[in-house]
Chains A and B, each alone.
Chain A
Amino acid sequence: MTRTGTAQGTGLGIDPRGPRFGAGVTAALLAVVVLLGGSTAGLVLLAVVAAGFLLGTIRGAEGTWQGWVFRTLVRPRLAPSHELEDRRPPRFAQGVGLLVTGVGVGLGLSGVLVAVPIAAAVAFVAAALNAVVGLCLGCELYLLLRRLRPRSAGGGAQ
């Protein structure tokens, strides 16, 4: 479907400040993982962060524990959001976070502990930029990933 003019997302949106708050919390945890370096403690904390990304990939950013903290502790103290946002962009970002931290946890569990702070550092850059300047991973990565896929035969109609 080609959209013109005012494109709308599907369904009800979420408060755009929620995913950004969550990204800030996640970035702080990832910074601690970087501090802990290639240790068991770092691996455990990275696994906690990865579990959060798994929740976010399945249920959307509002379904993570960071989303719960935002809804119950932060949002009641803020002015109502002037607009709601589509839930798909933050959910895509959660998936990217899961991929990066999941690789770190997997390598860490198989004994390559140096991968733990490296994965945490990569995920930190994305999460911190999301929280501070509003970087949108779906904007930067989705089309690149889509282009990497080979051209489907017969014009690629869906």
Chain B
Amino acid sequence: MADGIVTLAVVMAVTAAIGWWWLRRQGAVRTRPGTDARDWTDQGVLLGARATFVQLSAAVCAPCRATARVLGELANAHPGVTHRELDVDENLDLVRELSVLRTPTVLVLDPAGREVARMSGVVSRRQANEALGTVDHQMIDDGRTRT
């Protein structure tokens, strides 16, 4: 029993550490500099003039619904922003090509179809806005480089 108490304490500490790390990652916007543009027509994704959110979802993923709601609202509120949800079962090749490991994973695309940022886990309204800001910044930076 004394051994059991020590074991349980260790297991609980590991659980707490994983929980903390997992919560921190939820929906965090990770920028993806230097990603090449990609043709999205096969997936039926119509690129928005400002930004496109491609969400990879699965039926066994409840946070995918919440994320779809947040991104759908964002797309409705901002002209030029589109949201497209794809099922991982029907897009396994794409999932492998893009090294997607969990759902929901959201790819944030610029108007050229280039992945500017990526989020995985449930996305909050604040994080969705942050991702949109990332695309806008990227466009400004690109404009500067060109001139």
Report A's interface with B, CB cutoff 8 A.
1-9, 16, 31, 34-37, 85-86, 88-92, 117, 121, 124-125, 128-129, 132-136, 138-140, 142-144, 146-147, 151, 156, 158
Contacts and interface: CB of A to CB of B under 8 A. Distances in A.
B87 A136 contact: no
Interface of B: 1, 3-5, 7-8, 11-12, 14-15, 18-19, 22-23, 44, 57-65, 68-69, 72, 75, 83-90, 92-93, 95-96, 100-104, 121
B87 A143 contact: no
A146 B59 CA distance: 13
A16 B3 CA distance: 36
Contacts of A34: 4, 7-8, 11
A129 B15 contact: yes
A2 B64 contact: no
B87 A2 contact: yes
Q: Max chain B CB contacts within 10 Å: which of A4, A86, A92, A125? A: A4
A3 B57 contact: yes
Contact of B57 (A7, A37, A90): A7
